[in-house]
Amino acid sequence: MKTVKDYMSSTVDYCTTLDNVFEVAVKMKDLDVGIIPILEDNRLVGVITDRDIVVRGVAEKHPGSTKVTDIMSSDLYTADPDMSIEEAAHMMAEQQIKRLPVVKDEKLVGIIALRDIAVHDETKSQAGFALSEISETQGNNMN
């Protein structure tokens, strides 16, 4: 059985609670990623997505020097590295998320995204299911 650790990105750059939104945005641009984990004392305390910056950082606040803790998502869903791909895809679909931090012993060890699952033949159906569930719900929210 394939698990999350078989597909996750294990080299994950992050910011800390001392950083500001500008620093997060630059890191996203430089790394070409849509999510940056936020760590405090080497523990995952939140994540900031590109959408968080737009919605919470720009539309609702003044951008730039805003503290990351002002806009990060702290109600987190995480995966265990030994979780099955099916479980991870189901969680992504159920929680309407495309990226999932991977945590072991309270430490960030990676991130798995739907695209990580979708590029492998044996897991395309799980990624397709999760994406269709996310797209369907987001489409319904736009009405």
The encoded tokens of residue 80 equal 């265990």
pLDDT in tens for each of the 143 residues of the chain?
Answer: 789 999 898 899 999 999 998 899 999 999 999 999 999 999 999 999 999 988 887 776 666 667 889 889 899 999 999 999 889 888 988 998 889 999 999 899 999 988 887 765 554 455 455 555 555 554 444 43
How buried is 22 (Cβ within 10 angstroms: 0-12 exposed, 13-18 middle, 19+ buried)?
Answer: middle
SS3 103: strand
Boundaries of domain holding 43: 4-141
Domain of 54, CATH number, reads: 3.10.580.10
Distance (Å, rounded) from C-alpha 110 to C-alpha 12? 6
Distance (Å, rounded) from C-alpha 54 to C-alpha 25? 10
Considering its fold, how many domains does the chain have in total?
1
